[in-house]
Amino acid sequence: MITRKQYMADSHSLHHAYYLQIAEMSRLGAHDLPVSIEEIREALKTDEHLNNIPLYRWDACARSVEHQMRPAVTKAEEYPAGPGNTVWSLSDGVCALKALAKHLATQNPPGWQEVDGVQLPSVDGWTDR
């Protein structure tokens, strides 16, 4: 696992990997993104940072998965476990969602499958759609 301390020491090269790991640890999927995978692919053609998708849409999606992300971000931050010892910021959510969006738009990773043009996690043949 890439810790926050490691990420901060080399944020330029570790940004995508760090936030993709947060998304994966949080079990986020294509259904958590503000637009379809096809729209992500189109957006990536003109902006590698996906800033051509309005920030308010990313923010809304990040807020909706906060409860899923807090434990993963807390673990990466290396905070001691315990009630009230969780960390999360809206920017963590947006960065994790954008990393996941780029990942899904550019490949079909193991453990994922395409259903009706959308990438979904597959667990023993089951999809969460």
CA–CA separation, 123 and 81 (whole Å): 28
pLDDT above 90 (res 63): yes
CA–CA separation, 54 and 50 (whole Å): 9
Domain ranges of the chain: 4-127
CA–CA separation, 42 and 47 (whole Å): 9
Q: Summarize pLDDT for 21-37 with one digit per residue, the tens.
A: 999 999 999 999 999 99
Beta bridge mates, 120: 113
The answer to whether the predicted template modeling score (pTM) of the entire model surpasses 0.95 is: no
% of residues, the chain, pLDDT over 90:
55
Per-residue pLDDT, 107? 77
Which residue, chain included where needed, has tokens 């759609």?
A: 129
Helix (H) or strand (E) holding 44: helix 37-44
Per-residue pLDDT, 83? 61
For residue 85, which of 75, 100, 94 has the smallest C-alpha distance?
Answer: 75
CA–CA separation, 19 and 69 (whole Å): 11
Q: b/e per residue, 106-115, with b = 16+ CB within 10 A? A: eeeeeebeee
